[in-house]
Structure 1
Amino acid sequence: MTQKQVAVIGGGIAGVCTAYFLAEAGHDVVVLERHHNVAEEASYTNPGLVAPAYAGPSAAPGMPRKILSSMFKSESAVSFKPSADRALWRWISRWLDECDLERFRINKLRMQRLATYSRDILKLMREHYQIEYEQTRGVLQLFRTAKDLKLAEPAISLLSEYDVPFVMLDAEGARAVEPTLSTHTPLASAIYLPEDEAGNCPLFTKRLKYICTSMGVQFHFTSAVDAIEPGGSGVGLRIAGKRFDADAVVVAAGSDSTRLLKPLGVQLPIYPVKSYVATAIIKNFDHAPVATVIDEAYSVTLTRMGGRIRIAGIPEFGTRTEELQDRALRTLARVGSDWFPHAAIYGKANFWSGALPTLPDGPPLLGATPARNVYINIGHGSGGWTMAAGAGKLVADMVSGRATDIDLDGLTLARYG
C-alpha cells in the first residue's frame, strides 16, 4: 500500500474514527474542523446509543400516521414548522416512499449489518486502549400501549428472522430489568436488547482524538473548508483563501457536507434534522436508571451517563435555527419524569439542540465519489455513534485500496444510481 496524505473534513465521531483507521493503515492524516474541538455538533447531540438491534430508519410503516397524530398534542414526538424550503419537501417526499414495508426491511438490514460490524470494532478499540466513556450494557424499549407495540412489529419480525437476541417482556418483567421504572406510568410491554449498549459519544471522541494525536494525526481547529478542488493526482482544499494539497480527502462534515460536495456534482438528499437533548443531574441515585431506556411512544432515549441522565429525541423539521422550542423541551422533561420521577429535576436540566445529517432512507453513504480521490462518510443521522467505528474502518480500507470486511451493498453512492 502506498502511504498517502489524507485530509479528513470534520471532527465529529465519524471523522475522528476515520482518521484513526487511516493512521492505523499508515497514512499521513490531518483533520480539519471548523469548531474549537472535536464532537461539538451532531456528535455532541448524540443520544448515546450503540445499538445494532435497535438501529433502523425513521421511515417505517405506520410512521407517517403516528407523526401526524402526535403533532396536535401538547407533548409531541416530532415538531414540524411549515417552511417554503424546497429541499425539505423533496426530502419528505422521498422519506414517505421509504415507509413502504419492503423498503423498510432493506434499509434496516443495511443499517444493522453496518451497526453490528461497528459494535464489534468498537469493542476491540475499547479493550485495546482501555477506553472508559461511561458505557452501559443493555437497552430496554418501552411500549406504553398495544398500539405502540403494533407499530414496532416490522422491526421485531426482523430481529426474529435474523436471530438477534431480544426478550419480550410484560410490565412486570420490564420492571425486573429496570427496577426504578415508575409504576404510575402505563406500560403495556417492553423489549430487552441485552447485547446493545450506550455510552458518552463526545467523551469517547475526545479520548480517541488523543490516541490519534499519539499516532501522528494532526488536528486543525477553527479551520472551515471553503471548497474542494480535485485535479491532477491529488485534491486541493481552499481554506481562508489559501489552497492546501492532499493526495485524498474524506468528507465527514455532517450537514455541511452537501455544500462541499455539490460543486463536485455530488448532490445528495441529506437534510439537517434538528434534534433536542436534555442532560439532568441525578439527585437520587437509588431512583435513577441503570442503563438505557427508549420510550417508543415519543421515540425518546434516556441514557445513564455517570452522574447524569441524557434524554434525547424530538426531531424537528422546517427550521435551520438553534432556537429551542418549548414544546420539545416539555416533552423531554415529561418523558424523564414519567419513567424516573425521583431521579432528577428535569425542569432544571441543561437543554440544547443540534442538526443531525439525515438521509430519507436511513443508511449512511461511504466510500468513493465521482470526483477523483474524494471520499465520503456522511448521512448517519441519529445513528452516527452506533455506526461510526465500522464506517471509519470501511472508508479507511477503501482509501487504502484494501478489501472491506463486510459487504458494502446499499452503503455507497451506487444506491442512488
Structure 2
Amino acid sequence: MKIIVMGAGVIGVTTAYYLARAGAEVTVLDRQAGPGLETSYANAGELSYGMTSPWAAPGIPVKAVKWLFMKRRPLFIWPLISPTMWAWGVQMLRNCNDERYRVNKSRMVRISNYSRDVMPDLIAETGIDYDGREQGTLQLFRTEKQLEGSMADQEILAEYDSPFEVLDREGCIAAEPALGRVREKFVGGLRLTADRTGDCRMFTTALAEKCVEMGVEFQYGQTIRSIAIENGRVAGIETEIAGRITGDTYVCALGSHGPKLLTPAGIRLPVYPVKGYSVTLPVVEDAAAPQSTIMDETHKVAITRLGDRIRVAGTAEIAGYSDRLGPHATDTVRHVVNDLFPGGGDLSRAEGWTGLRPMTPDGTPVLGRSRYDNLFLNTGHGTLGWTMACGSARAVADVVLGREPEISFDGLTADRYN
C-alpha cells in the first residue's frame, strides 16, 4: 500500500513512522525545507498528560474578558472581518459548560494517556535523543484563590487516573530549587508527576531520520495546491512543483493549514489557527534555572528546561493566519522567566518564535476517516500536538491499515461536527 502523508510536523512524521513500521510504502510532503519547521519548531516542550484539558471550560468566558485588560495578558483577540473566526468562537463558547467540558476532556485524555503509554516503546525502538526529562510539571499558583480553585482540577485528575501532588511553598521549592530565590511570589502548586518534557523539533528531526532508514520518502519544498477528487475518491495531491502525486491512501496532518485544502474538497472542519509565542535562551546558571516545566497559572506561560536551554512559551493570539513576530510580541514570556528564574538564563541571547496552533472549538483533535474512504485525518491538536503525537499517530495508522485501534474513536472523528 502506498500512502501519502501531508505534513512533516511532529504529527505527520510520527504517523509516517507507524505506517512504515507496519510495512507500508510512505511518502511525506511538506512545503518547508525539512521536518518540524512550523508549529513543532519551538513549542513549550511539555508532554503534558496531566494538563490535557480543553480550553473551552466553565468560567473561561469571564476569565477571557479579564485577561484582555491585563498588562501582560495571556489572550489577544483581533476583531477581524472573518466569518470563519467568529463561527469558531461561537462554537467554542457553546462548549464552555460542565457537561461539554467533561465529554471533551474524556475524549482528549483518552488520546493523551494512550500517547503517554506508547511513547516509551517508540523511544526504546528508535533510541532517539530529544533532551527528554521525566520530572513532571509544576502548576504554580501566585494566589490562595488559584490554589483553592485547583480543587476542581484535582477531582478531575483523580477521576482520570492522572497522578498529582498538592504542594505548599516549600514543596514547590523542593521540586524546583531555584524557586527558593523568589519564594515570596507564589503560595503553592499542583505537581503533575506523570508529565515529561522534551524538544519537539529534536524529536521530529531524529524520528524523520529513522523514517528515512525505514524507506520513507520525504519530499520537501512541495507546496500542496489542492486535493484532487475524482469519482468520489482522492485521486492525488496537486503540488506546485511536482504536479500530481498519487498513492492508494492519503493522510492529512497539516495542522492549521489543513482546512485550506479540505474545505474545497468538501470537508469542513472547525480547525482555526491560534497564534502562540516562545523564546529559547541558554542556561547560564544551573542552580538558578528550572529543572523541568513550571506553568505560571497567572500568565498562562510555561517555562521548560531543555538540556542546556530554557524554553518559555505562552500567549494565545486570535489573528487568523498571521505569522508576524512583532518587536514586543514576546514581552510577556520574557517577563515571566525573568520574574521566576532571574539569572537562570541569558535573555539577551533569547531566540524568539511564533507558531500557529491548530485549535478545534471543543479541544479534541480530529482523527480517523473522512467522507472519502481513502483520505484520513490527524489534525486539530491545538497546544497538545507534542503531547498527543505518538498516541494519535499510532491509532490513525491502525485505522489506515485496516487494523483494530487500541483506543476507541468514538467522538474523535469529523462526524461529531455533522
Structure 2 CA distance, aligned partners of 1:92 and 1:151?
25
Q: Residue 226 of structure 1 corresponds to which residue in structure 2?
A: 225
What amino acid does structure 2 have at the position aligned with 1:308? R
Deviations along 1:282-315, one digit per CA (max 9) or x if unpaired, are 1111211111111111111111011110001101
Q: How many residues align?
A: 414
State whether residues 283 and 344 of structure 1, in contact with CA within 8 Å, keep that contact through their aligned partners in structure 2.
yes
* 2:36 equivalent to 1:39: yes
* 2:376 equivalent to 1:386: no
Shift of 1:112: 1.1
Structure 1 CA distance, aligned partners of 2:198 and 2:116?
12
* 2:259 equivalent to 1:258: yes
State whether residues 235 and 248 of structure 1, in contact with CA within 8 Å, keep that contact through their aligned partners in structure 2.
no
Structure 2 CA distance, aligned partners of 1:198 and 1:235?
40
Displaced runs of 4 or more, over 3 A: 149-154, 230-234, 325-328
* 2:102 equivalent to 1:101: no
Structure 2 CA distance, aligned partners of 1:53 and 1:275?
21
Structure 1 CA distance, aligned partners of 2:326 and 2:234?
45
Instruction: List gaps (5 residues or longer) in structure 2.
Output: none
- CA 1:185–1:280 in structure 2 vs 1: closer, same or farther (change >3 Å)? farther
Shift of 1:318: 2.4
Shift of 1:152: 3.9
Structure 2 CA distance, aligned partners of 1:274 and 1:206?
23
3-state DSSP of counterpart to 1:362: coil
Q: Residue 51 of structure 1 corresponds to which residue in structure 2?
A: 48
Q: Residue 169 of structure 2 corresponds to which residue in structure 1?
A: 171
Q: Residue 77 of structure 1 corresponds to which residue in structure 2?
A: 74
Shift of 1:328: 4.1
State whether residues 368 and 409 of structure 2, in contact with CA within 8 Å, keep that contact through their aligned partners in structure 1.
no
Q: How does 1:235-274 map to 2 (within 5 A)?
A: 235-240=235-240, 242-274=243-275
Structure 2 CA distance, aligned partners of 1:315 and 1:147?
23
Shift of 1:319: 4.3
Q: How does 1:309-348 map to 2 (within 5 A)?
A: 309-325=310-326, 328-346=329-347, 348=349
Structure 1 CA distance, aligned partners of 2:99 and 2:106?
11
Structure 2 CA distance, aligned partners of 1:405 and 1:300?
33
* 2:22 equivalent to 1:25: yes
What amino acid does structure 2 have at the position aligned with 1:225? I
Q: Which moved more, 1:40-49 or 1:152-161?
A: 152-161
Structure 2 CA distance, aligned partners of 1:11 and 1:314?
24
Q: Residue 204 of structure 2 corresponds to which residue in structure 1?
A: 205
Shift of 1:113: 1.1
* 2:128 equivalent to 1:131: yes
State whether residues 79 and 328 of structure 1, in contact with CA within 8 Å, keep that contact through their aligned partners in structure 2.
no
Deviations along 1:360-412, one digit per CA (max 9) or x if unpaired, are 11010111100230111000011000000111111111111000001112211
- CA 1:155–1:325 in structure 2 vs 1: closer, same or farther (change >3 Å)? farther
3-state DSSP of counterpart to 2:279: strand
Structure 1 CA distance, aligned partners of 2:145 and 2:63?
10
Structure 1 CA distance, aligned partners of 2:20 and 2:208?
12
Shift of 1:71: 1.4
State whether residues 363 and 381 of structure 2, in contact with CA within 8 Å, keep that contact through their aligned partners in structure 1.
yes
Structure 1 CA distance, aligned partners of 2:152 and 2:413?
25
State whether residues 274 and 316 of structure 2, in contact with CA within 8 Å, keep that contact through their aligned partners in structure 1.
yes
Structure 2 CA distance, aligned partners of 1:18 and 1:129?
15
State whether residues 264 and 371 of structure 1, in contact with CA within 8 Å, keep that contact through their aligned partners in structure 2.
no
Structure 1 CA distance, aligned partners of 2:307 and 2:314?
20
Structure 1 CA distance, aligned partners of 2:245 and 2:353?
35
Structure 1 CA distance, aligned partners of 2:106 and 2:332?
30
Q: Residue 160 of structure 2 corresponds to which residue in structure 1?
A: 162
Shift of 1:160: 1.7
State whether residues 239 and 245 of structure 2, in contact with CA within 8 Å, keep that contact through their aligned partners in structure 1.
yes
- CA 1:387–1:125 in structure 2 vs 1: closer, same or farther (change >3 Å)? same
State whether residues 85 and 320 of structure 2, in contact with CA within 8 Å, keep that contact through their aligned partners in structure 1.
no
Shift of 1:128: 2.1
Q: Which moved more, 1:286-295 or 1:147-156?
A: 147-156
3-state DSSP of counterpart to 1:180: helix
State whether residues 35 and 221 of structure 1, in contact with CA within 8 Å, keep that contact through their aligned partners in structure 2.
yes
Deviations along 1:249-295, one digit per CA (max 9) or x if unpaired, are 10001111101111221101111100001111111112111111111
What amino acid does structure 2 have at the position aligned with 1:333? R
Structure 1 CA distance, aligned partners of 2:160 and 2:353?
37
State whether residues 235 and 249 of structure 1, in contact with CA within 8 Å, keep that contact through their aligned partners in structure 2.
no
User: What's the RMSD between the two structures over aligned residues?
Assistant: 1.6
State whether residues 39 and 205 of structure 1, in contact with CA within 8 Å, keep that contact through their aligned partners in structure 2.
yes
3-state DSSP of counterpart to 1:303: strand
3-state DSSP of counterpart to 1:126: helix
Structure 2 CA distance, aligned partners of 1:322 and 1:164?
35
What amino acid does structure 2 have at the position aligned with 1:158? I
- CA 1:240–1:323 in structure 2 vs 1: closer, same or farther (change >3 Å)? closer
Deviations along 1:52-79, one digit per CA (max 9) or x if unpaired, are 1111111112222222112112211112
State whether residues 142 and 188 of structure 2, in contact with CA within 8 Å, keep that contact through their aligned partners in structure 1.
yes
Q: Percent identity?
A: 38
Shift of 1:347: 5.0
Q: Residue 196 of structure 1 corresponds to which residue in structure 2?
A: 195
